[in-house]
Amino acid sequence: MNDAPAPTNNAHAPVNAPAPRLHLRAGEAARAPYALDIAPERAGWTHSALRVLELAPGQEHVLDTAESEWIVLPLTGGCTVRVDGEVFELLGRKGVFGGVSDFAYLPRDARAQIASGAGGRFALAGAKCGRRLPARYGPAPEVPVEERGSGTCARLVRNFASADAFACDRLIAVEVVTPGGHWSSWPPHKHDEHRPGVESELEEIYYYEIDGDHGTGYQRISPSRPGGADLLAEVRDGDAVLVPDGWHGPSIAAPGHAMYYLNVMAGPGAEREWRICFHPDHTEGYR
């Protein structure tokens, strides 16, 4: 149980390709112009992607969406997004702990321009997809916010692009804010098998931000199959964790430091759905 490479569930990866590391510390997956760049090929799977774009005041960035759909989600600051003849003014927010943000959906096979007068940081959550849906604006007041769990397992879930809240072809994305000293992603759950009506196969990325200086959190992934993903990592601001398979949870926020994470999911199933299976050893009193 460590930060060593773990097997991937991607049957299309080259037989002798090394498995990617599951815990990516801040800066380790940077590739200009992105502070974080996780492509499906880099993760060793087929669909899910995440980039974090940092723009200085007055700077702009051109994104070719290629065969993926993307959501532009402000983490800090606001921006203007131009795509397919549409112009979306994203008001954004002061930071991820300050509340929900508006966002923009970018279709595949498009060229988008992202510009920020005051500068900021922007998550680009993506998924390889088949259908080309129209570019759209997601207003912040329409984002469903859910209080999940109770006691020290209470946390806040912002379902801005959950399967039942916003239409995408493959992409599913939500934000979770865990108060300091609380657990989230609990009970441990998995979604690494295609079982109609029971469980959907989804690749998942966690991206973290921690409130306050010197804050930390912890992330656990335990194997759901022999040789599967196995990780216990101390996560810090700007880190990411890949979940190719396995039981994931808990995600633990250290006392005094709230923890934010952005979950990006997509998979090969014919239906865009989030169906999970809880760990049978940890469901008493939680379901």
DSSP output for 242-253: EESSSEEEEEEE
- For residue 221, the model assigns a pLDDT of 98
Fill in the DSSP letter of residue 13: S
- For residue 52, the model assigns a pLDDT of 98
CB of 102 closer than 8 Å to CB of 158 = no
- For residue 2, the model assigns a pLDDT of 45
- Give the predicted TM-score (pTM) of the model: 0.93
* Paired strand residues for 252: 183, 218
C-alpha 99 chain-centroid distance = 17
For Cα atoms 119, 124, 129, give the angle at the middle one, nearest 5 degrees: 155
Fill in the DSSP letter of residue 31: B
- For residue 13, the model assigns a pLDDT of 45
CB of 42 closer than 8 Å to CB of 20 = yes
- For residue 5, the model assigns a pLDDT of 42
| Number of Cα atoms under 13 Å in the Cβ half of residue 73 | 29
Cα torsion angle, 233, 14, 32, 50, sign? negative
Fill in the DSSP letter of residue 12: T
- Say which amino acid occupies 236: R
| Blockwise average pLDDT, block size 10, the chain, 287 residues | 43 51 97 97 97 98 98 98 98 98 98 98 98 98 96 97 98 98 96 96 98 97 96 98 98 98 96 94 66
- For residue 14, the model assigns a pLDDT of 45
What domains appear along the chain, each with residue ranges and CATH number? 23-278 (2.60.120.10)
Spatial separation of the C-alpha atoms in residues 261 and 218, rounded to whole Å: 12
- For residue 20, the model assigns a pLDDT of 76
Helix (H) / strand (E) element for 34: namely strand 34-38
- Burial (CB count <10 Å: 0-12, 13-18, 19+), residue 131: exposed
For Cα atoms 220, 226, 232, give the angle at the middle one, nearest 5 degrees: 15
CB of 260 closer than 8 Å to CB of 176 = yes
C-alpha 175 chain-centroid distance = 8
Which residue do the tokens 């014919």 mark?
A: 270
Closest CA to 62 of 143, 128, 124, 135: 124
- For residue 11, the model assigns a pLDDT of 42
* Paired strand residues for 93: 77
Diameter over CA atoms, the chain: 53
